[in-house]
Amino acid sequence: MSQWNKIKKTALTLTVITTAITSYAAHAKQPEWTINNLDQPESVVASTDGQFIYISNINGQPMELNGQGYISIANVNGRMVDQHWLKGLDAPKGLAVSGQYLYIADMQKLVKVNTSTGKIEDSYTAPNAKMLNDVTATTDGTIYVSDLLEDTIHRLKNGKFEAWFKSTALPHPNGLYAQQGELLVGSWGKGMNSDFSTAELGSLLQLNIVEQQLSTVPTGYKLGNLDGVIVTEDDSIYVSDWLSGELFKQQGKERKLVLSLKPGLADIGANKQYLFAPMMMDNEVSAWKFSDF
């Protein structure tokens, strides 16, 4: 059985479980719009002006170097602009926008794309990486990239791409979000199996960039197999659990389950109005109004 089939089998089992326990309130919410017919969308990020979104499509096995991965562009009203805007990637996952550039985590490479031309301007290889996953940018243009399988965060600064932080206290880092001198890190959990399930659920961690000190976000909740992390203007943290399909909102020490979707809820993105949810197993991306949460 292929790795992707193992993941789908596990997700199918969880679908049955989560369907049985999902609250009516979570089901009652409906997305503003949905884009269908994608190919394993893993990450969504908004353009600098917030009017467009970029979507990474794995289009194959999650660790396969097949050259079939691509990036789509849609507008924030849910209309596809160019489904195959950038082609020829392997298994693209996390995305970040910094200035006029889109950064893409593509297995062992970080790809830099000029959003004005749609052309790749640079590609940085991480020699010891196994699966680069999420990407985030600081205000000074420094780029951080998680490696899900190596307990490592890589950094691109002044043209140098290197393994910047590695620790056993950082079990399978996935989602990243840079803010105010810290990285918020969504941990997938401890004891990962071949189908990406884990013996222990992951937590939301925070890493001081200057001092490289790692700690647990004050609540310390074991939330799930965490994928995407975003922070809104009111300092609310939203984090997605890939295997359960649950979306959590955290403010201070309060945690709230705001959506219970299907397994495969991947690397969420946002602009001021919408939260964008890539549903990797269902080949679709949906937009949800923050005002509904």
Burial, 105: exposed, middle or buried (Cβ in 10 Å; 0-12, 13-18, 19+)? buried
Would you state the structure tokens that stand for residue 172, as one six-digit string?
């399978």
Angle made by CA atoms 167, 172, 176, in degrees to the nearest 5: 90
How far apart (Å, rounded) are the C-alpha atoms in residues 72 and 78? 12
Is the entire prediction scored with pTM above 0.85? yes
Which helix H or strand E contains 26, and what residues bound it? Answer: helix 24-28
Could you report the per-residue pLDDT of 65-83, keeping only the tens digit for each?
999 999 999 999 999 999 9
Quote the domain boundaries for residue 225. 3-292
Place of tokens 């013996």: 199
Tell me if 184 sits within 8 A of 216, measured CB to CB: no
Tell me if 266 sits within 8 A of 228, measured CB to CB: yes
Q: How many domains does the chain have?
A: 1
Q: What is the CATH number of the domain that holds 75?
A: 2.120.10.30
Pairing of strands 222-224, 213-216: unpaired
Percent of the chain surpassing pLDDT 90: 80
How far apart (Å, rounded) are the C-alpha atoms in residues 90 and 293? 35
Amino acid at 18: T
Could you report the per-residue pLDDT of 176-226, keeping only the tens digit for each?
999 999 999 999 999 888 888 899 999 999 999 999 999 988 666 788 999
Tell me if 113 sits within 8 A of 119, measured CB to CB: yes
In the prediction, which pLDDT does 70 show? 98
Could you report the per-residue pLDDT of 82-129, keeping only the tens digit for each?
999 999 999 999 999 999 999 999 999 999 999 999 999 999 999 899
Pairing of strands 246-251, 92-98: unpaired
Q: Is 191 left (phi over 0), alpha (psi -120 to 50) or beta?
A: left
